[in-house]
């Protein structure tokens, strides 16, 4: 019997007003139900916002260190449940145990980090031009925040939205992705156990077309933070800004790794494979394009194919790469593989569903490498969100930089080189919010800004670290003359 989860609204666990529920299943064994959640509607979302609005003044007036103590305890509770939540994520999202465990730890670290940051929240004192005047700034919470999060990092992304929002004194309502909602619900279980006052944080599960839309458009919502596809995120941004809301979006990517002729090819292949096939390629920062200097191209292709073929695919509790999260995501990856073949790319390895007894169930696809990909092929331009790597051959650094920038996205980018001048130019000229040298496009520190350029974000507010707090605060300047 699968566990039944409820909404958390105004400090109470409750069923949806619709009376309906939905189930999540294991992508490694889709016939197995993992958990049951509330199929909420507009009324539930409205109740969550009303609760957050009612709790806002009191939570904003709570001293920062007192808010921090609740966040710290939340992190501690999550830490005590780490093994359980790791297993839940593997069963619900399909990540390997190592990937899921790392993500749960990241969520724990985020709560600990923002717990300490509450001690630094305040403002700045400036020198006034006149005598007997104190001139200073005060940071205040924006108000009620609506948070909408995706399935591919089902605890880390909710954590990096919820923790800074609460640290800064905001109240909130969260709608997690339906296909992997369990670890997001666990955050609110921990907040409740940690003593968070009623109404401060609320979670409502259900479809974006009702729950998400109600949160975004509600008059009492002051800020909206969304992570998901560019297509949906652009609609969210337009709708929310039309209502005068503060909006932060983190969207898709088509992330390049430029491989210089000076790079260690064996190391480069290992780095690229990790960025392309880690978390089954289901990361907005996945390194889906390898842009390789012609002098090392053939050796690189040989080496990266070896890396791909060395990966053991299967259920996340035993193997190197798990399944895709849903059948529709699997079908999308297979469709892009067909498109690449039709466009003339050369399939070097993978390209289909693996065969064998353990693959009879599950949304598995082989780690796939294509060479002879042209810069304007769809495989080189569109986000696949699966373990499919496009290798593009370029004549020199200038050509590589041009190809790297010649897409609609600009989230993360990397260069693998032993030429420091190339590295410096790449950092200066790459059109991406995250620039890396000699490491994969994936992997983020939690205390520095994260966000993209072009269609990878709204280019307004960044997430994480002090930048995350900036989004959830508004500055007031005080002239105090006496």
Residue 122's pLDDT is what?
86
Bridge-partner residues for 435, per DSSP? 413
Residue 2 has pLDDT above 80, yes or no: no
Q: What are phi and psi of 6, to 5 degrees?
A: -115, 170
Residue 138 lies in a domain: yes
Q: What is the mean pLDDT of residues 379-391?
A: 98
Phi-psi region of 195 (alpha: psi -120 to 50; beta: other; left: phi over 0): left
Residues 6+ apart with CB under 8 A from 175: 45, 146, 147, 148, 149, 203, 204, 205, 206, 208, 211, 212, 215
CB 464 within 8 A of CB 448: yes
Q: Read off the CATH number of the domain in which 68 is found.
A: 3.40.605.10
Residue 1 has pLDDT above 60, yes or no: no
Q: Which domain holds residue 324?
A: 256-437
Residue 185 lies in a domain: yes
Residue 446 lies in a domain: no
224 and 208 in a common domain: yes
Rounded to an integer, what distance in angstroms lies between the CA atom of residue 290 and that of residue 219? 45
125 and 242 in a common domain: yes
275 and 203 in a common domain: no
Instruction: State the pLDDT confidence band at 3, using cuts at 50, 70 and 90.
Output: confident
Q: Is 127 helix (H, G, I), strand (E, B) or coil?
A: coil
Residue 410's pLDDT is what?
98
329 and 230 in a common domain: no
Residue 449 lies in a domain: no
Burial 133-142 (b: 16+ CB within 10 A, else e): eebeeebebb
Q: Read off the CATH number of the domain in which 420 is found.
A: 3.40.309.10
pLDDT 10s digits, 242-261: 999 999 999 999 999 999 99
Work out the number of other CB atoms within 10 angstroms of the CB of residue 192.
17
| 8-state DSSP, 199 | T
Residue 336 has pLDDT above 80, yes or no: yes
Residue 308 lies in a domain: yes
Q: What is the mean pLDDT of residues 61-82?
A: 98
Please tell me the number of Cα atoms within 13 Å of 99 on its side-chain side.
30
469 and 333 in a common domain: no
Task: Tell which residue, 147, 298, 139, 164, has the closest CA to residue 208.
Answer: 147
Which of 125-129, 171-175, 388-392, 393-397 has the weakest average pLDDT? 125-129
**Active site (annotated) includes residue 284:** yes
pLDDT 10s digits, 97-126: 999 999 999 999 999 999 999 999 988 999
Tokens 């109240």 locate to 171
Find the DSSP H helices in 124-202.
156-167, 182-193
Residue 401's pLDDT is what?
98
425 and 299 in a common domain: yes
% residues pLDDT > 70 (the chain): 100
222 and 288 in a common domain: no
Residue 150's pLDDT is what?
97
Residue 206 lies in a domain: yes
Residue 444 lies in a domain: no
Task: Tell which residue, 199, 106, 202, 223, has the closest CA to residue 154.
Answer: 106
Parallel, antiparallel or unpaired: strands 21-26 and 29-38: antiparallel
Both tokens of residue 241?
């800004």
266 and 247 in a common domain: no
Please tell me the number of Cα atoms within 13 Å of 274 on its side-chain side.
14
Residue 451 lies in a domain: no
280 and 334 in a common domain: yes
Q: What is the mean pLDDT of residues 42-58?
A: 98
CB 20 within 8 A of CB 6: no
Residue in 185, 276, 284, 304 annotated catalytic: 284
Average pLDDT, the chain: 97
Work out the number of other CB atoms within 10 angstroms of the CB of residue 344.
11
Residues 6+ apart with CB under 8 A from 47: 9, 10, 17
pLDDT 10s digits, 207-254: 999 999 999 999 999 999 999 999 999 999 999 999 999 999 999 999
267 and 239 in a common domain: no
263 and 399 in a common domain: yes
Residue 482's pLDDT is what?
77
How many distinct structural domains can be found in the chain?
A: 2
Rounded to an integer, what distance in angstroms lies between the CA atom of residue 36 and that of residue 160? 25
Residues 6+ apart with CB under 8 A from 145: 52, 161, 165, 170, 171, 172, 173, 221, 222, 223, 224, 225, 472
Helix, strand counts (H, E) of the chain: 15, 22
159 and 35 in a common domain: yes
Residue 92 has pLDDT above 70, yes or no: yes
Question: From edge to edge, which strands make up the β-sheet containing 388-394?
Answer: 346-349, 368-371, 388-394, 289-293, 256-259, 412-416, 434-437
């Amino acid at each position: 019997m699968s566990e039944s989860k409820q909404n958390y609204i105004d400090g109470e666990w409750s069923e949806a007003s619709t009376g309906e529920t939905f189930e999540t299943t294991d992508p490694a064994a889709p016939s197995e139900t993992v958990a049951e959640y509330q199929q909420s509607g507009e009324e539930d979302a409205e109740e969550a916002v009303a609760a957050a609005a009612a709790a806002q003044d009191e939570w904003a007036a709570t001293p920062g260190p007192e808010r921090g103590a609740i966040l710290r305890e939340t992190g501690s509770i999550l830490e005590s449940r780490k093994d359980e939540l790791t297993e839940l994520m593997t069963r619900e999202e399909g990540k390997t145990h190592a990937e899921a465990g790392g993500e749960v730890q990241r969520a724990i670290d985020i709560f600990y980090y923002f717990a300490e940051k509450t001690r630094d929240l305040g403002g700045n004192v400036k020198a006034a031009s006149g005598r007997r005047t104190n001139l200073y700034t005060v940071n205040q919470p924006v108000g009620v925040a609506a948070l909408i999060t995706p399935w591919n990092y089902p605890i880390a992304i909710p954590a990096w939205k919820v923790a800074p929002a609460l640290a800064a004194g905001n109240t909130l309502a969260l709608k997690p992705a339906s296909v992997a909602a369990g670890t997001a619900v666990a955050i609110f279980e921990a907040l409740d156990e940690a003593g968070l006052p009623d109404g401060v944080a609320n979670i409502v599960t259900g479809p974006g077309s009702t729950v998400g839309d109600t949160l975004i458009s509600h008059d009492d919502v002051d800020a909206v933070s969304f992570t998901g596809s560019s297509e949906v995120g652009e609609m969210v941004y337009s709708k929310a800004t039309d209502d005068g809301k503060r909006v932060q979006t983190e969207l898709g990517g088509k992330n390049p790794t430029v491989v210089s002729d000076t790079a260690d090819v064996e190391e480069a292949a290992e780095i690229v494979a990790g960025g392309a096939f880690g978390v089954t390629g289901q990361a907005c920062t996945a390194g889906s394009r390898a842009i390789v200097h012609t002098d090392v191209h053939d050796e690189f292709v040989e080496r990266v194919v070896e890396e791909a073929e060395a990966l053991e695919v299967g259920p996340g509790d035993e193997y190197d790469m798990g399944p895709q999260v849903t059948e529709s995501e699997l079908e999308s990856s297979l469709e892009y593989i067909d498109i690449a073949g039709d466009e003339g790319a050369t399939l070097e390895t993978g390209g289909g569903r693996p065969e064998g007894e353990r693959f009879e169930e599950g949304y598995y696809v082989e780690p796939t490498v294509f060479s002879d990909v042209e810069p304007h092929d769809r495989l080189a331009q569109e986000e696949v969100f699966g373990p499919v790597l496009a290798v593009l051959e370029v004549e020199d650094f200038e050509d590589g930089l041009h190809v790297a920038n010649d897409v609609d996205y600009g989230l993360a980018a990397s260069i693998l080189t032993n030429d420091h001048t190339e590295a410096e130019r790449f950092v200066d000229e790459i059109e991406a919010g995250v620039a890396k040298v000699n490491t994969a496009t994936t992997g983020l520190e939690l205390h520095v800004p994260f966000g993209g350029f072009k269609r990878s974000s709204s280019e307004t507010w960044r997430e994480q670290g002090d930048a995350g707090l900036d989004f959830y605060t508004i500055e007031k300047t005080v002239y105090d003359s006496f």
